[in-house]
């Protein structure tokens, strides 16, 4: 998979943690490969199986290893999977802890928000560094996030979703990131992988009337800027 990404012209990847084990794995990958950076997070979809002692351990893991990561997240709200009020309340309580930690650490916060983009945005308005991972919300919420200087990351499902193509047409280029959300949301059959992000680049550039290489340079620079990744190479 890594060889395929390299052959496709991918020069840097960000691997996101969503729980204790994937945070640890992201740190391992970033230590092993200089072209992989880690973010450390806590998905709202893991909360049903996490008790308070494990939750405290996970927060300690994030705080103690934050200097090795480029961002905090994914973390946020997921109203698609969680329909009940007590579950959503706990999501918000835990998310607030992550927000506070990201602010204290002065790290970009990577937000997972599904069917909860506006509530998530309302909770982070005091932060300066925010990325809406795999954004699927409304145009109005996206505009509000952009007006606050936040970044919108579109995943490879843009290749098969009319709504996401509308978002791609309207997002400010200087705040656009692209991602695969591997192994999910493949634009092709089967498992998604990092090299498939080029499918998004080709489609979005066509939607915006640009050359793919031009869009690739812009999104690479945006990624390096928000995550403070220092590199002389571009993809």
Q: pTM here?
A: 0.95
Class of domain 2-227: alpha beta
Q: Cα separations (Å) of 181 from 17, 51, 144, 158?
A: 12, 27, 24, 12
Q: What is the pLDDT of residue 235?
A: 41
Low-confidence ranges of the chain (pLDDT < 70): 231-235
Q: Rg (Cα) of the chain, in Å, rounded? A: 17
Report the distance separating Cα 196 and Cα 5, nearest Å. 8
Domain spans of the chain? Answer: 2-227
């Amino acid at each position: 998979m890594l060889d395929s990404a390299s052959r496709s012209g991918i020069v840097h990847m960000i691997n996101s943690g969503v729980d204790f084990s994937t945070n640890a794995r992201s740190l391992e990958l970033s230590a092993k490969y200089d072209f992989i950076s880690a973010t450390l997070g806590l998905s709202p979809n893991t909360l049903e199986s996490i008790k308070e002692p494990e939750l405290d351990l996970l927060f300690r893991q994030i705080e103690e290893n934050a200097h090795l990561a480029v961002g905090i997240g994914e973390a946020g709200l997921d109203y698609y999977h969680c329909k009940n009020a007590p579950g959503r309340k706990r999501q918000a309580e835990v998310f607030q802890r992550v927000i506070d930690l990201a602010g204290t650490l002065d790290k970009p916060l990577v937000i997972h928000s599904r069917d909860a983009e506006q509530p998530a945005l309302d909770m982070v308005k005091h932060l300066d560094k925010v990325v809406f991972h795999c954004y699927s919300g409304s145009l109005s919420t996206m505009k509000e996030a952009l007006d606050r200087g936040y970044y919108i990351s579109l995943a490879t499902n843009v290749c098969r979703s009319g709504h996401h193509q509308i978002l791609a047409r309207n997002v400010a280029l200087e705040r656009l990131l692209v991602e695969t959300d591997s192994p999910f949301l493949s634009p092709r059959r089967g498992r998604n992988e990092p090299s498939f992000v080029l499918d998004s680049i080709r489609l979005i550039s066509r939607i915006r009337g640009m050359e793919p290489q031009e869009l690739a340079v812009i999104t690479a620079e945006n990624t390096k800027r928000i995550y403070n990744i220092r590199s002389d190479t571009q993809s």
